[in-house]
Chains A and B, each alone.
Chain A
Amino acid sequence: MNVQWWCSARGLPWRWQWTPYPGVWIAVLALGAAYARWSKPLDSGTSANGVSAARRIGGWIAVLLVWLTLDWPGGPLGTGYLASVHGAQFLSLAMIGPPLLLRGIDPDRVRALLDRSPGTARIVGFATKPLFAMIAFTIVMLATHAPGAVDVLMRSQLGAFALDIAWFISGLAFWWPVVLDAPVREHFGPPMRMLYLFAGTQAHLYLAMWLLLADLPVYGIYELAPRVTSLSALEDQQVAGGLLLTIGGTYVLAVISVVFFRWFADPQTDG
């Protein structure tokens, strides 16, 4: 059995033969352990907030989603064969997983950490500063979808790992100010959050349109991969663009709508 620690494009014909990726398991176990710790109420005896069962389950769904995204068969298919699966991986790791995870974290625990560790508070405060997080997320999204970057990074396990981690970390930073109010940002209420989500995902829409409307396959790695489905490389790329546009766009619009209607119903709310 051929063991790789992380998925990478190998140029071999696709086989429906299970392949272990120990690096993925370790990463998902670490994520699950961290989430289990951070989703527990800070002090079950006194904590008034904690997180609802629905939010906690949402966080575990995110962990499951990350696992399914990175492990066999989704991981290798997206890394070396199908741009459409690669697009779904981006949605999962950068757009859907991070906010679900962050919503499942006990905010009291985060506040307590930031209070007792000024260094951590500075780093988290800076990394999740809306302007910085938005620019960083956009840059990561555009850079990691550039054909040159994809074709080079995906060929090595380290490159593919870096790309996955970049999506996830930049996604966490991007969604943090929308989901968590620690550190407190007085001037980042619901209207600003809606604007932030809209502005921060514009590049995503242009990227989706570019994939959807390109005349030729833009990624060599998928164009030259042995076909897995009856879709041509160009059609597969169009599916990727369509996924980013429809699912990604609809998802962001839905989140903006939720923020809006909560704010509309009660202007004092946090969104």
Chain B
Amino acid sequence: MAGALLALPGCGVDAEGGGRSYRGTTLAHALPRPSFTLTDTHGQPFDFRSRTDHTVTLLFFGYLNCPDVCPVHLTNIAAVMQKLPYDVTRTLRVVFVTTDPGRDTPEKLQSWLANFDSSFVGLRGTPEQVRAIEKSLELPPAVADAPDSAGDYQIGHAAQVIAFAPDDSAHVVYPFGTRQADWLHDLPLLAQVK
């Protein structure tokens, strides 16, 4: 899968981040929580910065027809949320930005995300807007494959989930291959970052 090729290596390796040991991949330099506004699945503007301020926010770029990386990531995050204490989940936001706004209509996006967890936020924007956000987060831009004879196509996209901590910075990302045990270990740590 093209998306998987974009995954960062190093999953499962303990990384030191601010004195805490994460199982995700620690970034060489922290990424500030970006400011952008996209449209949510209700058609309303969603100001990412203000709506997720001081929370643990897992930001992920993908698309509904993704056969592997997206559903596996979201399934694992949703499964772990059922096991985490309320103190952690109440400050946890999961934001999914579609890289395929042409096919991922608001209705489809909402219904698909609700299959994982009804609290997951789905956002849509123009390809240019999404590319600009990806660039600001130092992610490779999503690239669509050539359509097949049926008109279907897949999209190569960044496979890592970016985790913003309550200090409004991302110190660590989670590539494809992150296990539920890793999420269960790291999310409480991230929630404690001040």
Which residues of A pack against B, CB within 8 Å?
A: 11-13, 215-217, 220, 223-227, 232-234
A223 touches B68 (CB 8 A): no
B38 within 8 Å of A (CB atoms): no
Chosen A-B contacts, 10 in total, with CB atoms closer than 8 Å, are A12-B68, A216-B184, A223-B72, A224-B72, A224-B177, A226-B67, A226-B68, A226-B72, A232-B79, A234-B79
- Give A226's nearest chain B residue, CB to CB: B68
A226 touches B71 (CB 8 A): yes
B184 touches A227 (CB 8 A): no
B181 touches A216 (CB 8 A): yes
> Interface digits, B53-77 against A, CB 8 Å rule (1 contact, 0 not)?
0000000000000011001100110
Which residues of B pack against A, CB within 8 Å?
A: 1, 4, 67-68, 71-72, 75-76, 79, 83, 176-177, 179-181, 184
Task: Choose among B67, B76, B177, B180 the residue with the greatest number of A CB atoms under 10 Å from its CB.
Answer: B180
Q: A224-B177, A226-B71 are in contact. List 19 more A-B contacts (CB 8 A).
A: A12-B1, A13-B67, A215-B83, A216-B180, A216-B184, A217-B179, A217-B180, A220-B177, A220-B179, A223-B72, A223-B180, A224-B176, A224-B179, A225-B72, A226-B68, A227-B75, A232-B75, A233-B79, A234-B79
B46 → A minimal CB distance (Å): 28
Contact of A13 among B68, B179, B184 (CB under 8 A): B68
The docked-state distance in angstroms from the alpha carbon of A180 to that of B71 is: 50
Chain B residues whose C-beta falls within 8 Å of the C-beta of A216 in the assembled complex: 179-181, 184
B68 touches A11 (CB 8 A): yes
The docked-state distance in angstroms from the alpha carbon of A230 to that of B79 is: 14
A223 touches B71 (CB 8 A): no
The 10 A-B pairs with the shortest beta carbon distances in the complex, nearest first, are A13-B67, A226-B68, A216-B180, A216-B181, A13-B68, A226-B67, A224-B72, A220-B179, A223-B179, A217-B180
Chain B residues whose C-beta falls within 8 Å of the C-beta of A12 in the assembled complex: 1, 68
Q: Binding site of A, secondary structure by majority: helix, strand, loop or mixed?
A: loop
The docked-state distance in angstroms from the alpha carbon of A216 to that of B72 is: 14
Chain A residues whose C-beta falls within 8 Å of the C-beta of B181 in the assembled complex: 216
The docked-state distance in angstroms from the alpha carbon of A220 to that of B1 is: 18
Chain A residues whose C-beta falls within 8 Å of the C-beta of B76 in the assembled complex: 223
B63 → A minimal CB distance (Å): 14
Chain B residues whose C-beta falls within 8 Å of the C-beta of A226 in the assembled complex: 67-68, 71-72
The docked-state distance in angstroms from the alpha carbon of A251 to that of B71 is: 37
Chain A residues whose C-beta falls within 8 Å of the C-beta of B177 in the assembled complex: 220, 224
The docked-state distance in angstroms from the alpha carbon of A101 to that of B4 is: 44
- Give A220's nearest chain B residue, CB to CB: B179
The docked-state distance in angstroms from the alpha carbon of A1 to that of B1 is: 18
The docked-state distance in angstroms from the alpha carbon of A31 to that of B71 is: 40
The docked-state distance in angstroms from the alpha carbon of A59 to that of B22 is: 53
Chain B residues whose C-beta falls within 8 Å of the C-beta of A234 in the assembled complex: 79
Chain A residues whose C-beta falls within 8 Å of the C-beta of B68 in the assembled complex: 11-13, 226
A166 → B minimal CB distance (Å): 26
The docked-state distance in angstroms from the alpha carbon of A225 to that of B83 is: 21
The docked-state distance in angstroms from the alpha carbon of A217 to that of B179 is: 9
Chain A residues whose C-beta falls within 8 Å of the C-beta of B79 in the assembled complex: 232-234
The docked-state distance in angstroms from the alpha carbon of A7 to that of B171 is: 39
The docked-state distance in angstroms from the alpha carbon of A85 to that of B85 is: 33
Chain A residues whose C-beta falls within 8 Å of the C-beta of B71 in the assembled complex: 226-227
B75 → A minimal CB distance (Å): 7
Chain A residues whose C-beta falls within 8 Å of the C-beta of B75 in the assembled complex: 227, 232-233
- Give A13's nearest chain B residue, CB to CB: B67
- Give B12's nearest chain A residue, CB to CB: A220
B181 → A minimal CB distance (Å): 5
B113 → A minimal CB distance (Å): 16
Chain B residues whose C-beta falls within 8 Å of the C-beta of A223 in the assembled complex: 72, 76, 179-180
A159 → B minimal CB distance (Å): 18
The docked-state distance in angstroms from the alpha carbon of A4 to that of B163 is: 39
Chain A residues whose C-beta falls within 8 Å of the C-beta of B4 in the assembled complex: 11
A213 → B minimal CB distance (Å): 14
A177 → B minimal CB distance (Å): 40
B89 → A minimal CB distance (Å): 16
